[in-house]
Amino acid sequence: MQDLLEALRAIVGVDGVLVEANDLATYERGWRYGVGKAAAAVKPRTPREVADVLAACTARGVRVQPMGANTGLVGASNPDASGTMVVLSLERLARTIEVEPLDGVALVDAGVTLSALNEALAAHGLVFPIDLGADPQLGGMIATNTGGSRLVRYGDVRAHLLGLEVALADGTLVSRLTRLRKDNTGLDLKQLFVGTSGLFGVITRAVVRVVPRPRQRVATLACAASGEAVLQLLATLQAEVGELLSAYEAVSREALAAVLRHGVYERNPFQGEPPAYAVLIELSTALLPAVLDLDAALHAALGAHLEGPHADGIEDVLVGRGEDFWHLRHQVSESLREEGAVVGLDLSVPRSRMAAFTEDVRARLAARFPGVRVADFGHWGDGGTHLNLVHDKALGGDDPAAFKRALQDFVYEVCVREYGGSYSAEHGVGPHNLAAYTRYTPETARAVCRVLRATLDPSQSLGSFDLG
Ligand SMILES: Cc1cc2nc3c(=O)[nH]c(=O)nc-3n(C[C@H](O)[C@H](O)[C@H](O)COP(=O)(O)OP(=O)(O)OC[C@H]3O[C@@H](n4cnc5c(N)ncnc54)[C@H](O)[C@@H]3O)c2cc1C
């Protein structure tokens, strides 16, 4: 290790290699899951330095844990407990943001944060439209294929990736930083690194497609009497305003009640008890109001629904500031943690089945695990739900981890096998959900991963787990 530390200092400078316990602590613990122990953390500043760090570690048989902003929610960005891994933090690889407005693209260092990228793009009237409640790095977003609240309109990170540069474990730098929107020339190599948790290589730079920054945004909160009513309203909005719909977030009564009990807000927007679901509807457009009156478009669409056959399902439509509605929505996770133990599940099902799935799980959990409440919220516009299972901590008995696993396994089975859903809609794969990955991933896919790993990282240097 001493020899490796010398080599790493020669590559990135003395200030780029951390070994003291105090300095390492922030690299050893994930946002929600994942605790490990690192031998060192190293902070390269250029793609070449990343590649040289990897070559130095691999040559000495030392495993490397790539880390972005460490906001991942499946424990995939932290070292294991062995104390022998080196954390490769991309935080200093954050100098380049080259915007090319006519191409509608930006060339970006992997360690650039989403907020820094959007700040640079704002000067050109552009935005990278992946929107979430954290501030990840671009490399981490690619490695986890981040979704976010506006996926219904813009799609995920994969949909915006044009070019990629990756450092392989042996120190090879593979650079394909194309700005082409059309390139039908065989295998799309960059896709191997999207959503595969950094296990095939470390992303150093990327070219991403960016879009015009919306000039208008309007939001409202509709009070729906049931999950089915949430879907009926979605159908109307799709027909009436189509691609103007940029967010469609449903928050259940249980989740709303938690925010009202523990959150920070100016006033309770609901008269009395919260509705079965509050739906945050957002429309946005880059067009100027003189060209398109967005407020009028929203009113017309809601009016069409309230005059249609499913009007009864919508009990109220609240007028207010969009940012207040988003503020309410963003407080759900933290508020639920005040209510007891929370098992947070990140699921998706086909949109049309979302209401039936949620109600089915709610009923079956009540029968099988009395005392466990479902407090769901999420991106119903794209079939995503954060299904939170809240219970009294005592319910977990002597083995809370086993109780949590039983709950997870029960819901995963219903979601994946009965409703054709996914056990990880947005957060990717990591130690936290590896058992589900192993259970539900077809053997062919895992065999392909083994071949890829053997080709790209034969000494298994990268990461603390495997997809094969
Ligand atoms: C409050 C909050 C809200 C969130 N909301 C959403 C949401 O709405 N949608 C969503 O999809 N996610 C969400 N997330 C999850 C998380 O923000 C994303 O997964 C994010 O993209 C991770 O990026 P990161 O830079 O933090 O990566 P990290 O957490 O540091 O790493 C995640 C994975 O990527 C790998 N990695 C990181 N950088 C690189 C690189 N340069 N090259 C190769 N591999 C790399 C790591 O090894 C690890 O496997 C949320 C998280 C929080 C805390």
DSSP 8-state symbol, 185: S
> Residue 279 region, left (φ>0) first, then alpha (ψ -120 to 50), else beta?
beta
Tell me the CA–centroid distance for residue 303 and ligand 1, in Å.
39
Return the ligand 1 atom nearest residue 147 CA: 11
Nearest CA among 347, 335, 380 for reference residue 152: 380
Q: What are phi and psi of 105, to 5 degrees?
A: -135, 165
Q: What pLDDT, on a 0 to 100 scale, did the predictor assign at position 369?
A: 96
Tell me the CA–centroid distance for residue 87 and ligand 1, in Å.
15
Q: Are 210 and 98 in contact (CB under 8 A)?
A: no
Tell me the CA–centroid distance for residue 18 and ligand 1, in Å.
22
Mutate to test the pocket of ligand 1, among 28, 146, 150, 203 (most ligand atoms within 8 A of CB): 146
Q: Give the pair of three-digit tokens for residue 142.
A: 């690619």
Nearest CA among 9, 12, 45, 39 for reference residue 27: 39
Q: How far, in Å, CA of 160 to CA of 142, rounded?
A: 10
Q: How far, in Å, CA of 320 to CA of 285, rounded?
A: 19
Tell me the CA–centroid distance for residue 146 and ligand 1, in Å.
7
Tell me the CA–centroid distance for residue 70 and ligand 1, in Å.
6
Q: What pLDDT, on a 0 to 100 scale, did the predictor assign at position 423?
A: 97
Collapsed DSSP state (helix, strand, coil) of residue 376? strand
Strand-pair category, 245-252 with 373-378: antiparallel
Torsion angle of the four alpha carbons 196, 202, 204, 205, in this order, in degrees rounded to the nearest 10? -20
Q: What pLDDT, on a 0 to 100 scale, did the predictor assign at position 322?
A: 86
Mutate to test the pocket of ligand 1, among 26, 28, 33, 71 (most ligand atoms within 8 A of CB): 71
Tell me the CA–centroid distance for residue 260 and ligand 1, in Å.
29
Q: What pLDDT, on a 0 to 100 scale, did the predictor assign at position 169?
A: 98
Strand-pair category, 384-391 with 373-378: antiparallel
203 pairs with which residues across the strands?
Answer: 166
End-to-end distance of the chain based on CA atoms, in angstroms? Answer: 28
Q: What pLDDT, on a 0 to 100 scale, did the predictor assign at position 54?
A: 98
Q: What pLDDT, on a 0 to 100 scale, did the predictor assign at position 266?
A: 79
Measuring from atom 3 of ligand 1, which residue has the nearest CA?
133
CA atoms within 13 A on the CB side of 314: 26
From first to last of its 468 residues, what are the pLDDT tens digits of the chain? 899 999 999 999 999 999 999 999 999 999 988 899 999 999 999 999 999 999 999 999 999 999 999 999 999 999 999 999 999 999 999 999 999 999 999 999 999 999 999 999 999 999 999 999 899 999 999 999 999 999 999 999 999 999 999 999 999 999 999 999 999 999 999 999 999 999 999 999 999 999 999 999 999 999 999 999 999 999 999 999 999 999 999 999 999 999 999 998 878 888 889 999 999 999 999 999 999 999 999 999 999 999 999 999 999 999 888 888 889 888 999 999 999 999 999 999 999 999 999 999 999 999 999 999 999 999 999 999 999 999 999 999 999 999 999 999 999 999 999 999 999 999 999 999 999 999 999 999 999 999 999 999 999 999 999 999
Q: Per residue in 305-362, pLDDT tens?
A: 999 999 999 999 998 888 888 898 889 999 999 999 999 999 999 999 999 999 999 9
Measuring from atom 37 of ligand 1, which residue has the nearest CA?
140
Which amino acids bring their CB within 6 angstroms of ligand 1? 31, 66-73, 76-77, 90, 110, 132-134, 136-137, 139-141, 143-144, 146-148, 197-198, 202-203, 426-428
Q: Per residue in 398-435, pLDDT tens?
A: 999 999 999 999 999 999 999 999 999 999 999 999 99
Q: What pLDDT, on a 0 to 100 scale, did the predictor assign at position 237?
A: 98
Give the chain's mean pLDDT.
Answer: 96
Measuring from atom 36 of ligand 1, which residue has the nearest CA?
140
Tell me the CA–centroid distance for residue 142 and ligand 1, in Å.
8
Mutate to test the pocket of ligand 1, among 31, 78, 85, 144 (most ligand atoms within 8 A of CB): 144
Residue type present at position 150: R
If one counts every other C-beta atom within 10 angstroms of the C-beta of residue 195, the result is 17
Strand spans (E) along 196-272: 202-209, 211-212, 216-224, 245-252
Q: Per residue in 132-163, pLDDT tens?
A: 989 999 999 999 999 999 999 999 999 999 99
Mutate to test the pocket of ligand 1, among 32, 35, 64, 77 (most ligand atoms within 8 A of CB): 77
